[in-house]
């Protein structure tokens, strides 16, 4: 049977939603059936399994744990860009960086996708913290998607994705590539080495102790339900240093969450 012709019953959708929620907290709401179906079909084709239930049985079996990770990866939405929600970076420059006087600085991009967010941050630190190279500064960048982390490791981006860079001078942090990568740019080594990439599922335990000066958790909580968001916000609070900053996506304010953060401006909170 051609997987393309396969229908997704509401029972299948319900089962998939449960697996995804249990594995990574993403709350697949009704209305997402077509998206889920097309993402699922890619995995069925890759595995040459031609039945939805057989595939779901497999990923829920002890032998299917590797495929389960690939399935969850396929279910994620990874849209991102350089200088996305640039107000955050302006706020950082004007109100956060001047106060970061300690030698040890820790930033966390908690759902970094293909790397644009942590690399933007690294470039911003280079530009606006003149002594950054003398500090023990690290940007931890984590995501559940190994596909995206591989892209972030490569750090190669097509020219059209660099249009959001605020000024041409930022091109100094990108090397133009030739040959089969002509038309793309690679982040320079000096920027890449400021970023430590790692796989991390926000729903599981976190190996790092913190404290962090700044946490970016943008455009991922939108996929989680309220209890999951609440839990995550509590955990970010624990990991931030007193006075540390939390940036969330502009469509993800914390108004429905119980928290002790001080509201600074839209999508910007301080411990």
Determine the Cα–Cα distance for residues 49 and 39; give it in Å rounded to an integer. Answer: 14
Please, which residue, 119 or 170, has the CB nearer to ligand SAM? 119
List 39, 147, 235, 270, catalytic entry: 39
Write out the two tokens for 22. Answer: 């249990």
Write out the two tokens for 218. Answer: 């943008």
Please, which residue, 166 or 177, has the CB nearer to ligand SAM? 166
Please, which residue, 96 or 217, has the CB nearer to ligand SAM? 217
To 10 degrees, the CA torsion angle through 249, 253, 259, 265?
A: 90
Write out the two tokens for 163. Answer: 């249009």
List 37, 43, 84, 143, catalytic entry: 143
The stretches of 129-218 forming alpha helices (DSSP H) are 146-154, 189-192
Whether 73 is catalytic is no
Whether 143 is catalytic is yes
CB of residue 117 vs ligand SAM: minimum separation in angstroms? 5
Determine the Cα–Cα distance for residues 175 and 104; give it in Å rounded to an integer. Answer: 29
CB of residue 185 vs ligand SAM: minimum separation in angstroms? 18
CB of residue 218 vs ligand SAM: minimum separation in angstroms? 4
CB of residue 211 vs ligand SAM: minimum separation in angstroms? 20
Please, which residue, 49 or 144, has the CB nearer to ligand SAM? 144
CB of residue 15 vs ligand SAM: minimum separation in angstroms? 19
Write out the two tokens for 229. Answer: 């968001």
Write out the two tokens for 123. Answer: 């470039």
Spatial neighbors of 219 by CB under 8 A, at least 6 apart, are 79, 80, 84, 111, 249, 251, 252
Spatial neighbors of 19 by CB under 8 A, at least 6 apart, are 56, 59, 60, 68, 71
CA distances from 173 to 18, 91, 136 (A): 43, 21, 20
33-47 vs 52-59: helix crossing angle, rounded to 10 = 80
Please, which residue, 28 or 97, has the CB nearer to ligand SAM? 28
Interacting residues toward ligand SAM by CB under 6 A: 24-26, 76-80, 84, 111, 113, 117, 143-145, 148, 200-203, 218-220, 249
Please identify every residue annotated as catalytic: 39, 143
């Amino acid at each position: 049977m051609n997987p393309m012709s396969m229908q997704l019953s509401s029972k299948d959708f319900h089962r998939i939603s449960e697996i995804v929620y249990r594995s990574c907290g993403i709350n697949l709401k009704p209305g997402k059936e077509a998206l889920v179906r097309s993402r699922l079909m890619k995995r069925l084709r890759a595995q040459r399994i031609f039945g939805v239930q057989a595939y779901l049985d497999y990923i829920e079996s002890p032998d299917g744990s590797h495929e389960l990770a690939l399935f969850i990866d396929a279910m994620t939405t990874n849209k991102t860009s350089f200088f996305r929600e640039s107000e955050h970076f302006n706020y950082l420059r004007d109100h956060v960086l001047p106060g970061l006087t300690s030698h040890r600085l820790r930033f966390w991009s908690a759902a970094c996708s293909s790397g644009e967010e942590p690399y933007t941050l690294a470039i911003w630190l280079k530009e606006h913290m003149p002594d950054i190279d003398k500090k023990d500064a690290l940007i931890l960048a984590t995501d559940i998607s190994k596909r995206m982390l591989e892209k972030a490791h490569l750090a190669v981006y097509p020219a059209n994705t660099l249009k959001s860079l605020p000024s041409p001078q930022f091109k100094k942090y990108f090397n133009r590539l030739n040959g089969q990568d002509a038309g793309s740019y690679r982040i320079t080594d000096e920027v890449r080495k400021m970023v430590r990439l790692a796989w991390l599922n926000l729903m599981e335990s976190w190996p790092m102790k913190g404290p962090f000066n700044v946490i970016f958790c943008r455009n991922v909580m939108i996929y989680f339900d309220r209890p999951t968001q609440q839990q995550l916000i509590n955990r970010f609070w624990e990991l931030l240093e007193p006075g540390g900053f939390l940036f969330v996506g502009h469509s993800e304010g914390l108004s429905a969450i119980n928290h002790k953060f001080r509201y600074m401006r839209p999508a910007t909170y301080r411990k």
